[in-house]
Amino acid sequence: MRVLWFTNDPLPAVHRLAGRECAAHGGTWMPTLLHHLSRMPHIHVDVAAAHRGSSDGQVAVDGVNYFVIGQPRYQSYFSCTKKDLEKCLAIIRQTEPDVIHIHGTERFYGLIAARKLTRTPCVISLQGLLGPYVTSFFGALTARDLRRSERLLDLLTRRSLFWMYRDYCAGARREREVLAGANALMGRTEWDRAHLKSVNPRAKYYHVGEILRDDFRAKSWDIAGCRRHSILFTNVGEPRRGIEILLRAMLSIRRDFPDVQLRLAGEIGNRRGYHRFVRRMIAESGLTPNVELLGYLDARALVRELSGAHVFAIPSYIENSPNSLCEAMQVGVPCVATYAGGIPSLIQHHHTGLLYPREDAPLLAEAIMKIFRDDDLACRLGRSGRVEALERHAPERVLSQLLNAYQEVAANGRFVRLTQPAVAV
């Protein structure tokens, strides 16, 4: 079986060949899945992705053909032109796949399936969902906070939160067309299935998990080796991730645990307005001694941080199935997360982690302090979470789910009549 992937961003192999840093690029689980698929007999995978600031190209690495769809450097991440779609169709004609797997609804590839632009059967895997994310885009930011987080330079260069929000809205409108028109989709949570069915009740939904990076299976958390009263949070770059809520919770936690340490992984630089705002919020709250900015962490460094944390927290306003949470559970660190989006499909309250209502900083603080105070609870949550995650993300299980979906989509697709192509955007 020949499979053609469309991914939101070129995979690390392409970035490395081009001499680009891979730190800022997501989809860290995809190379792991590709590695496992490539080792299977009778499966060949090609990978295509659009990239702004690159020219069209093709390169072969370890038996995989990678295609780059060049776009202008300053084209919006969520935008699409007729030429972009035509390039995708040319790659499909060249590779002649049995199945097209489109990773995510965020970019324009889903239009290939929704508008029936090819006879090749297509399946789309749901990652995040822009439509629901738009409503929580600004998180806890007030109008005053938003003004303080916007720099004139960011506004002029379209890198501000305001422009990001506009792009999200445009992407959400196209995403709705994709969800309404696609025949087959993959998901991982009750939340993404419910949102799909609300738009397209006739679509076929396949439950297919993810294979996490190998590093997160090898290491197991032990309370004896953790930094007491330390909290790890790894997604700080957007307001919907809830960093403001976690900082408010820190003020309550510090009263009972003055030595509490919040360790923030991810890029919080000094150039973008929102990142500067987060730094100011930490300083103005008097939390500077209690917060450490770790910057970008590769897999090995992140495993070390997870192994050393007392609690992993994820205070997001909305998520589908955040890999950061899944990785933390697989390492076995006790997790506290928002009861929002698809997270309740990953965590069973008081069994594999603790859940709290979104935006409720006092309850978030209480959940974290409950783990700080009770070693038996911490160990039980960590152990149960790890067992659940190891089973959920087991490579053989995920591969079975994925191949079954591919085979069924390929079989059903042979009987779907092609409608009149409509490439125009």
- CATH code assigned at 53: 3.40.50.2000
- Assess whether 362 and 409 both reside in one domain: no
Closest C-alpha among 326, 282, 278 to residue 306:
326
Mean pLDDT of 60-88: 92
Enumerate the H helices of 21-81 as residue ranges: 30-38
241 and 383 inside one domain: yes
Q: Based on the domain organization, do 160 and 171 belong to the same domain?
A: yes
Classify residue 311: in a domain, yes or no.
Answer: yes
250 or 24, higher pLDDT: 250
How many independent structural domains does the chain possess? 2
Is 33 domain-assigned?
yes
Res. 79: pLDDT tops 90? no
Q: What's the average model confidence in pLDDT over 107-124?
A: 96
Cβ–Cβ < 8 Å for 425, 231: no
The mean pLDDT of 162-167, rounded to a whole number, is 91
Q: Are 38 and 131 members of one domain? A: yes
d(CA 243, CA 399): 35
Angle among Cα 45, 15, 328 to the nearest 5 degrees reads 80
pLDDT at position 124 is: 98
Q: Got the DSSP string for 83-124? A: HHHHHHHHHHHHH--SEEEEE-SSSTTHHHHHTT--SS-EEE
pLDDT at 58 over 70: yes
Give the CA-trace dihedral at 359, 362, 367, 369, to 10 degrees: 140
- pTM confidence score: 0.92
Q: Give 188's DSSP letter.
A: S
Q: Quick one: average pLDDT of 72-88?
A: 90
Helix then strand then coil, in percent of the chain rounded to 5, is: 45, 15, 35
- What is the Cα–Cα distance from 315 to 317, expressed in whole angstroms? 7
Which residue type sits at 394? A
Query: Which of 17-26, 116-125, 136-145, 165-174 bottoms out in mean pLDDT, i.e. has the lowest?
Result: 17-26
Q: Do 192 and 229 sit in the same domain of this protein? A: no
Q: Which domain holds residue 242?
A: 215-392
The per-residue pLDDT of the chain, averaged, comes to 92
* Residue 207 and residue 219 in one domain: no
Question: Between 419 and 267, where is the model more confident?
Answer: 267
Q: Is residue 275 a part of any domain in this protein?
A: yes
**Overall average pLDDT of the 126-134 stretch:** 95
Angstrom distance (rounded) from CA 57 to CA 224 = 51
Residues 206 and 219 in one domain: no
Residue 419 lies in a domain: no
Asked if residue 166 and residue 134 are part of one domain, the reply reads yes
pLDDT at 151: 82
Backbone φ and ψ for 47, nearest 5 degrees, come out as -130, 130
Whether the pLDDT of residue 149 is over 90: the answer is no
pLDDT over threshold 50, residue 418: no
Spatial distance between the Cα atoms of 53 and 50, rounded to a whole number of angstroms:
10
DSSP state of 262: E
DSSP string, 345-362: GT--BTTTBEEE-TT-HH
Highest mean pLDDT, choosing among 16-25, 261-270, 406-415: 261-270
Collapsed DSSP state (helix, strand, coil) of residue 126: coil
Q: What is the pLDDT of residues 302-316, one digit of tens each?
A: 999 999 999 999 999
Structural domain contains residue 421: no
Domain co-membership, 304 together with 321: yes
120 and 160 in a common domain: yes
pLDDT, tens digit, 9 for 90 and up, residues 179-225: 999 999 999 999 999 999 999 999 999 999 999 998 999 889 999 99
Judge whether 424 lies within some domain. no
By percentage, how much of the chain surpasses pLDDT 90?
A: 79
Residue 25 has which token pair? 């690029």
pLDDT digits (tens, 9 = 90+) for 315-372: 999 999 999 999 999 999 999 999 999 999 999 999 999 999 999 999 999 999 999 9
The per-residue pLDDT for 422 is: 54
In a domain, 420, yes or no: no
Residue 265 has pLDDT above 70, yes or no: yes
Instruction: Determine the pLDDT at residue 416.
Output: 43
**Which pLDDT score is estimated for 424?**
57
What is the pLDDT confidence band of residue 417, given thresholds at 50, 70 and 90? very low
In the prediction, which pLDDT does 75 show?
85
Confidence category of residue 27, pLDDT binned at 50, 70, 90: low
Determine the pLDDT at residue 423.
56
Residue 422 in any domain: the answer is no
What is the pLDDT confidence band of residue 152, given thresholds at 50, 70 and 90?
confident
Q: Does 380 lie in the same domain as 347?
A: yes
Contact in structure between 389 and 330 (CB atoms under 8 Å) = yes
pLDDT reading at 412 higher than 90: no
| Whether residue 187 is found in the same domain as residue 235 | no
Residue 76 banded pLDDT, cuts 50, 70, 90? confident
